[in-house]
């Protein structure tokens, strides 16, 4: 199991300024090889220290670090990414709005790097994921293995040609032309279940919603853009961080309301 190594930030009181300043920012390292000493900015963490969990440890130069076992989300943040992946803020809303759980069966397309597929698989019973590109599917396969997920099936399949199986509790779409698969989704979803479409651009959203209006089995519940604004809180400097995630995509939540 990989480890997370933390070096906490260091502050010192500067007499001339009459206040504390940060002389070292907090740092986080992800360690996968526990069988050799770990080199960190000209210093070393001895191999035997890497076996510890939730403890303070010392580097060879006597600096203090904290070490603990990585969890799913630490490993998830390290997976390989090829095409653009859905950020965590948007995944969170999908989970909460659709109410999927450990009994749910989900279809996700396109797979891309498998980021959404993997995150969903951490919460539900089964995820089937389609993509048309071999290179994306092989990255996704590697990521599924890295995260040790046993409930994911990756398929090379063009979703515009149809969906195998029925009674899905959720379908997530992150494909360039989602309006082409609305009828397939209406057929494959359970009544009461959700379809969530991730559109990057407004024309994509516009075309999807226009086509959706023609399918009486599906109801457009809402279109959402979620803005995440991170804040720094250092002493009396409490303000939004200068750099935060700007636009990622629009989420359209759709519900199957008729058989």
Which residues would be at the binding site for ligand SAM (CB under 6 A)? Answer: 83-86, 109-116, 130-133, 136, 158-160, 174-176
Structure tokens given for 181? 């698969």
Residue 143 CB, nearest distance to ligand SAM (Å)? 9
- Based on CB atoms, which residue is closest to ligand SAM, 95 or 132? 132
Residue 202 CB, nearest distance to ligand SAM (Å)? 17
Residue 180 CB, nearest distance to ligand SAM (Å)? 7
Q: How many CB atoms lie within 10 A of CB 171?
A: 26
Contacts (Cβ under 8 Å, ≥6 apart) of 48? none
- Based on CB atoms, which residue is closest to ligand SAM, 7 or 110? 110
What are residue 13's phi and psi, to 5 degrees?
-80, 125
Residue nearest to ligand SAM (CB): 110
- Based on CB atoms, which residue is closest to ligand SAM, 2 or 83? 83
Residue 199 CB, nearest distance to ligand SAM (Å)? 11
Residue 2, classified by CB atoms within 10 Å of its CB into exposed (0-12), middle (13-18) or buried (19+), is middle
Structure tokens given for 253? 């939540």
- Based on CB atoms, which residue is closest to ligand SAM, 49 or 90? 90
Element (H, E) at 171: strand 168-173
Query: How many whole angstroms separate alpha carbon 151 and alpha carbon 140?
Result: 13
Query: How many whole angstroms separate alpha carbon 118 and alpha carbon 140?
Result: 9
On whether the CB atoms of residues 256 and 190 are closer than 8 A, the answer is yes
Query: How many whole angstroms separate alpha carbon 54 and alpha carbon 45?
Result: 15
- Based on CB atoms, which residue is closest to ligand SAM, 38 or 253? 253
Residue 173 CB, nearest distance to ligand SAM (Å)? 9
- Based on CB atoms, which residue is closest to ligand SAM, 3 or 105? 105
> What is the DSSP secondary structure assignment for residue 47, as one 8-state letter?
G
Residue 101 CB, nearest distance to ligand SAM (Å)? 20
């Amino acid at each position: 199991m990989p480890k997370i190594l933390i070096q906490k930030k260091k502050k010192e009181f500067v007499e001339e300024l009459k206040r504390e300043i940060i002389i070292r920012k907090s740092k986080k390292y992800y360690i996968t090889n526990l069988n050799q000493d770990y080199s960190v900015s000209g210093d070393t963490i001895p191999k035997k220290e890497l076996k510890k969990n939730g403890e303070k440890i010392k580097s060879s130069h006597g600096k203090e670090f904290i070490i603990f076992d990585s969890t799913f989300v630490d490993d998830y943040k390290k997976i390989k990414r090829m095409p653009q992946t859905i950020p965590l803020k948007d995944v969170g809303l999908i989970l909460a709005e659709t109410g999927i759980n450990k009994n749910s069966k989900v279809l996700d397309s396109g797979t891309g790097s498998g980021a959404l597929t993997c995150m969903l698989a951490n919460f539900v019973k089964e995820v089937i994921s389609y993509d048309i590109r071999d290179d994306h599917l092989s990255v996704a396969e590697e990521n599924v293995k890295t995260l040790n997920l046993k409930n994911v099936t990756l398929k090379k399949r063009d979703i515009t040609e149809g969906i195998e199986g029925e009674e899905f509790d959720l379908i997530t779409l992150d494909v360039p032309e989602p309006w082409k698969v609305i009828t397939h989704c209406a057929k494959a979803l359970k009544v009461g279940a959700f379809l969530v479409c991730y559109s990057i651009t407004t024309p994509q959203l516009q075309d999807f919603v226009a086509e959706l209006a023609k399918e009486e089995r599906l109801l457009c519940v809402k279109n959402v853009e979620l803005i995440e604004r991170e804040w720094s809180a250092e002493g009396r400097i409490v303000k939004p961080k200068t750099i935060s995630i700007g636009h990622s995509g629009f989420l359209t939540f759709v519900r199957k309301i008729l058989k």
